[in-house]
């Protein structure tokens, strides 16, 4: 571990919801929930105003709406979030060549490798400036943790939320970690946490007191060794420069083998949804769905299915995982299940279909009179207006969809740098209303002038 707190962890505050508030003046200071709006939709991010009501990520959207009935519920705009994330990552790369993104809104930075920090004072100064630069460029806030290791830097940023900075001085790590719950440490999920709790271990201090041999007995050699080292604040993992992600996956180990086939199917669907949330948080999609099953006798099976093109649709991943499960015998019981997605890309299956349709129809030639006469005119394409997405009206300009239904769509006309706008309602097939690209976020510099930072 280092002698100075020169590893920085940045975690943007309620990123998706904050980006929506920055681009929609009427939502600033109000409860905003971003996620799927269908019957099985889940919350991706909730603004801090919505969290006051108990709303949190991964919660069913129906439950979130009951808790915060007046909140604005929006469908994610991942292309917009990726663009804003690119602005933030550019600021991080200006600090150091060693930047390790964990998702669109989270990354480690090795400040020492960039020569911008070498002790606590210079690290704090760098972290403070970074937060100010992010606010100036995007209008958003981020929480910064500074420490001598990645584990502690991430713990520090959690303690800094929202919109703060926490620096852990070298030499104070054990005192800080001791009283914290075991789930604070990397690699301790619900199953491991429950296993330790049944052994009477609930805090990091108690992990250290149990000793390495006991942890190896409880958790196995690799996990036991790693967890004991982290309980003693030993973490020498380096910040790894950005590299291509090969796959995204999640898995759960069960303390008691699952024999009920219906329960197995339910767990696979839940894992598929978690996997898609992680996939989307990274701004990715994938075309190969992988199912992992470890049976009662510790034999491990993997099955995979490759789709026609990349997707980040939870229903598609769920259905593919369910088909793969149909081919696996789980009669004797299951102790581990996992769902993963590989063959990653930064576009989705729907994008490919749209591309292909364009290639098929845009031939550069006019159809012959005979062909026009022999074929019926194409049916008009049904127009879809997702809540929160951008539109443009020929008379009223730029706006965003507040909601739609029963043949109508309601739009609020405003831009990132305008006052809160007026609301108007149109027919869903109004020819003057069209989908639009997101506008640049506009932020205010220390001076009186507005500075626009383009979002491609």
Contact 338, 297 (CB under 8 A): no
Residue in the structure block whose two tokens are 């920090």: 117
The crossing angle, in degrees rounded to 10, of helices 78-95 and 15-23 is 110
Over residues 279-283, mean pLDDT: 82
**Segment 301-343, tens digit of pLDDT:** 899 999 988 898 899 999 999 999 998 989 889 988 999 999 8
pLDDT at 382: 60
Mean pLDDT of the chain: 86
What domains are there in the chain, each with its CATH number? 175-231 (1.10.150.20), 247-350 (3.30.1490.100), 390-443 (no CATH)
Helices (H), 48-149: 48-51, 61-67, 78-95, 120-138
Is the per-residue pLDDT at 169 higher than 70? Answer: yes
**Distance, CA of 293 to CA of 305 (rounded, Å):** 15
9 phi, psi to nearest 5 deg: -120, 120
- Name the more confident of 362 and 381: 381
For residue 265, give both structure tokens: 């199917």
Is the per-residue pLDDT at 453 higher than 80? Answer: no
Contact 279, 341 (CB under 8 A): yes
Q: How confident is the model at residue 222 (pLDDT cuts 50, 70, 90)?
A: confident
Q: How confident is the model at residue 375 (pLDDT cuts 50, 70, 90)?
A: low
Active site residues: 106
Residues 6+ apart with CB under 8 A from 219: 192, 195, 227
- The DSSP bridge pattern shows strands 72-74 and 7-12 to be unpaired
pLDDT at 189: 80
Q: How confident is the model at residue 395 (pLDDT cuts 50, 70, 90)?
A: very high
For residue 455, give both structure tokens: 């979002």
pTM of the full structure: 0.74
Q: How confident is the model at residue 148 (pLDDT cuts 50, 70, 90)?
A: very high
DSSP 163-178: S-EEE--TT-HHHHHT
pLDDT at 402: 94
Is the per-residue pLDDT at 449 higher than 60? Answer: no
Residues 6+ apart with CB under 8 A from 196: 182, 188, 202, 207, 218
- Stretch (H or E) spanning 157: helix 150-160
DSSP 365-403: SPPPHHHHHHSPPPPPPPP---TT-EEEETTTEEEEEEE
């Amino acid at each position: 571990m280092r002698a100075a707190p020169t590893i920085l962890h940045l975690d943007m505050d309620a990123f998706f919801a904050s980006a929506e508030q920055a681009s929609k003046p009427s939502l600033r200071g109000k409860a905003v929930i971003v996620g799927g709006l269908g019957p099985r939709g889940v919350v991706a991010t909730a603004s801090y105003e919505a969290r006051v009501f108990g709303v949190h990520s991964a919660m069913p959207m129906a439950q979130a709406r009951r808790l915060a009935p007046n909140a604005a519920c929006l469908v994610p705009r991942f292309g917009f979030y990726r663009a804003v994330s690119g602005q933030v990552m550019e600021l991080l790369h200006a600090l150091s060549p060693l930047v390790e993104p964990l998702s669109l809104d989270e990354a480690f930075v090795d400040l020492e490798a960039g020569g911008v920090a070498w002790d606590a004072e210079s690290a704090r100064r760098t972290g403070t400036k970074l937060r100010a630069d992010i606010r100036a460029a995007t209008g958003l806030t981020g929480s910064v943790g500074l420490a001598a290791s990645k584990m502690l830097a991430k713990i520090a940023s959690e303690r800094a939320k929202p919109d703060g900075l926490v620096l852990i001085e070298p030499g104070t790590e054990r005192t800080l970690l001791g009283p914290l719950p075991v789930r604070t440490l990397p690699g301790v999920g619900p199953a491991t946490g429950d296993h330790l709790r049944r052994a009477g271990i609930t805090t990091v201090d108690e992990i250290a007191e149990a000793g390495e041999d006991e942890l190896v007995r409880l958790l196995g050699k690799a996990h036991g060794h790693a967890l004991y080292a982290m309980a003693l604040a030993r973490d020498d993992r380096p910040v790894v420069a950005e590299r291509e992600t090969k796959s995204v996956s999640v898995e759960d180990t069960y303390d008691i083998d699952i024999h009920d086939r219906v329960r197995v199917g339910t767990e696979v669907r839940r894992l598929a949804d978690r996997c898609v949330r992680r996939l989307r948080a990274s701004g990715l999609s994938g075309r190969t769905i992988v199912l992992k099953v470890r049976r009662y006798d510790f034999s491990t099976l993997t099955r995979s299915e490759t789709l026609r093109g990349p997707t980040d649709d939870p229903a598609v991943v769920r259905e593919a995982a369910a088909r793969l499960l149909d081919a696996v015998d789980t009669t004797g019981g299951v102790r581990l299940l996992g769902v993963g997605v590989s063959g990653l890309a930064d576009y989705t299956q729907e994008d490919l279909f749209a591309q292909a349709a364009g290639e098929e129809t845009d031939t550069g030639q006019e159809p012959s009179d005979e062909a026009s006469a022999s074929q019926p005119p194409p049916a008009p394409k049904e127009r879809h207006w997702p809540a929160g997405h951008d539109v443009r009206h020929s008379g009223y300009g730029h706006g965003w969809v507040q909601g739609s239904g029963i043949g109508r769509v309601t739009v609020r006309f405003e831009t990132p740098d305008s006052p809160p706008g007026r609301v108007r309602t149109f027919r869903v097939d109004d020819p003057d209303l069209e989908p639009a690209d997101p506008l640049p976020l506009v932020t205010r510099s220390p001076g009186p002038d507005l500075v626009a930072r383009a979002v491609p």
